Amino acid sequence: MNFHCRDIRFLLCGLALLTGLCSPPGLTGGTAANETAAGRIRKAGAEQYYVKAIDCDRRHDDREALRLYKKAYELDPGSRFLRGVVAGKYYQLRRPDIALSTLVGKKGNPDLSTEEKRLAATIYLDFGDTASTLKTLESIAKKEVPDYYNLGALCESRGKLDKALGNYIEVYNRGDSPIGMGLKIIQLEMALRAYGSADSFITVVQSRYGERPEFYNLRGLNALESHDTAGALAFFNKSSAVDSSFEEGKRNAAQIYLQQNDYRDAAAAYEYLCRTSTRNKDAYTRGLAIVYFYGKQYDKAVPLLISLLGKYIDDPEIHFFLGCAYGALDKPDEAHIEFEKALALKQDYFEAWEHLYFLAVQDKDADAALDVARRFSSRFPGYSGGWRLLGSCLSLRKEYTAAQRAFSRAVGLDSSDASSWFDLGSCFERNNDIPRAVAAFRRVLKLQPGDPAASNYLGYMWADRGMKLDSAKVLLESALSRDPENGAYLDSYGWILFKLGDMGKAFEYIGKALERIHNDPEVFEHLGDIESVRGDLQGARKAYVKCLEYNPDDPDRIRQKILRVDAMSHAKGSP
């Protein structure tokens, strides 16, 4: 049902003029009473030229036919019929400009017959003047089915969907329209969000054409637009039950399952498509492999992906997903090979670069990770993601100054990259550049208002330095409102309360943090500091010893704290 500029319906109108299928009333003009003798002689001459022109037309002598038609029109310039014939002949000889000027002249001629209007509309459309085409067709008083169809197609191409719908309904109501017209009307009603009307019209069309899978598929789409997901799934599956060769319904059902993260039912839908499809089997096999991957059925995804590579060895996406599946199956060497193959086929496959990098990080191969990050950033210096990975790698190596430069390059390329701003702020903080760290985290919070990780980092950074404690408290309360079970946020909030002097609440929140984090030396150090201030020196010592078990950044500082509480205990006479 797509619209074509040289619609056959327009051309037929012009051909009707050329072949003499229309009677030539203009050749005889008025009655004997109101015509002069000279006028009658001219009309008789016009008829003679017209008859000769018709004979030339039959012999396919087009240029001579045009000359004779023009002679006839010159003798009888008031004949609308001859005007249309001459214009039609010019159009047939690929002179649409002259054909149009013959019809409408320089100032426009509103006195056109229906056939002339159709021809003029065709020419306007050839020139790309859809507005004039539309206006001309709309001026036809007694429209026929092709006119309504062409008006509908024109309105649809110009985005006037409500008018297109009205014209298509006229087509449907005036004849035995093909099923495609009914489907077109339903789709337009859905596009106009007239879901109730669409559903009613589906019933009307179905009563005319019987049970067809297309109708159930459209009912499903209509239900989906109305936010009735369960109803949509039922209709999509019904369309497949009506006709197992109709794939669109089952494919739509699979998409809903994927959106719901229902990988089991999505896999079942794709398995069905793989069994029943004869045309798109490879596409459905690819889809099934990816569904298996996201559903964590990696052992099923791998053989399907390998089978696809037998046909599509140069497809980077298949290599990429195979690499991901191998990585999930703890086969890093195989994964590395597939990611490198994907990049050899498509160097700007940024996801493959990132997975290759994280594969090295997961394998704790710092040198390999750095090599990937450097290759990525140097090959695509204008892409912020490469610099972000390089910065992350350098941060892991505790090369914070170099990491800072990489993250600065990333945010310089993409100022909306909140992740790079966050990591840049972390580098500034580790380099003790607090003002710039604060600015970076505030930028994150501007890009992602209320971001709990940024709120936690900034709040804890202030609290740890005894700065802006009230503001730090507000930030952590915001973070906890979004993620109340996060152990790191609970620890930060407890530490802020400690700095504010509320030892009871501080002890409570550190305790909550330890219920969720069991191996963080910093939390145990905080517990030791709180216990020390509260006077529980034995509890403080136990916490510091526990802290040492988990390899703190500065173990000497913790040992000094243990010595201090031991001295305090000795001074009190504690055993």
Q: CATH number for the domain including 87?
A: 1.25.40.10
Alpha-carbon torsion angle 362, 365, 371, 373, nearest 10:
30
The stretch 125-145 carries a mean pLDDT of 90
Alpha-carbon distance of 255 to 221, in angstroms, equals: 12
CA atoms within 13 A on the CB side of 369: 20
- Which of 79, 107, 142 is the C-terminal boundary of a domain? 142
User: Average per-residue pLDDT in the chain?
Assistant: 89
Q: Is 208 exposed, middle or buried (0-12, 13-18, 19+ CB in 10 A)?
A: exposed
Does the residue 192 lie in any domain?
A: no
What pLDDT digit, counting tens, does each position of 42-72 carry?
888 888 989 998 999 899 998 998 999 899 8
Domain-terminating residue out of 142, 167, 193: 142
Residue-level pLDDT at 381:
96
pLDDT class for 112, splitting at 50, 70, 90? confident
Residue 107 lies in a domain: yes
The number of beta carbons lying within 10 Å of the beta carbon of residue 257 is 19
Among candidates 272, 282, 281, 351, which has minimal Cα distance to 316?
A: 351
pLDDT > 90? residue 108: no
Please report whether residue 122 resides in a domain.
Answer: yes
Share of the chain above pLDDT 90, in %: 64
Label residues 328-354 b or e (16+ Cβ within 10 Å = b): eeebbebbbebbebbbebbeebbebbb
pLDDT digits (tens, 9 = 90+) for 324-336: 999 999 999 999 9
**Domain count for the chain:** 2
Give Rg (Cα) of the chain: 40
Q: Return d(Cα 225, Cα 419) in angstroms, integer.
A: 35
Torsion sign, CA atoms 396, 401, 404, 406: negative
CA atoms of 98 and 127, how far apart (whole Å): 13
Backbone dihedral angles phi then psi of residue 167, each to the nearest 5 degrees: -70, -40
- Within a domain: residue 69? yes
Instruction: Determine, yes or no, domain membership for 91.
Output: yes
Q: In the prediction, which pLDDT does 349 show?
A: 97
| For range 198-208, the mean pLDDT | 86
What share of residues in the chain are helix, strand, coil (percent, to 5)?
Answer: 75, 0, 25
366-379 helix and 350-362 helix, angle to the nearest 10 degrees: 160
d(CA 395, CA 388): 10
Among 445, 374, 452, smallest CA distance to 406 is for 374
Parent domain of 71: 1-142
Measured distance CA(61)–CA(340) in Å, rounded: 67
478 occurs within a structural domain? no
> pLDDT tens-digit profile of 279-326?
899 999 999 999 999 999 999 999 999 999 999 999 999 999 999 999
Residue where a domain terminates, one of 142, 175, 203? 142
34 pLDDT higher than 80: no
Is 15 part of any domain?
A: yes
Identity of the residue numbered 385: G
- Residue 82 · residue 26 · CB < 8 Å: yes
Query: What would the pLDDT profile of 146-182 be if each residue is shown by its tens digit?
Result: 999 999 999 999 999 999 999 999 998 887 777 888 8
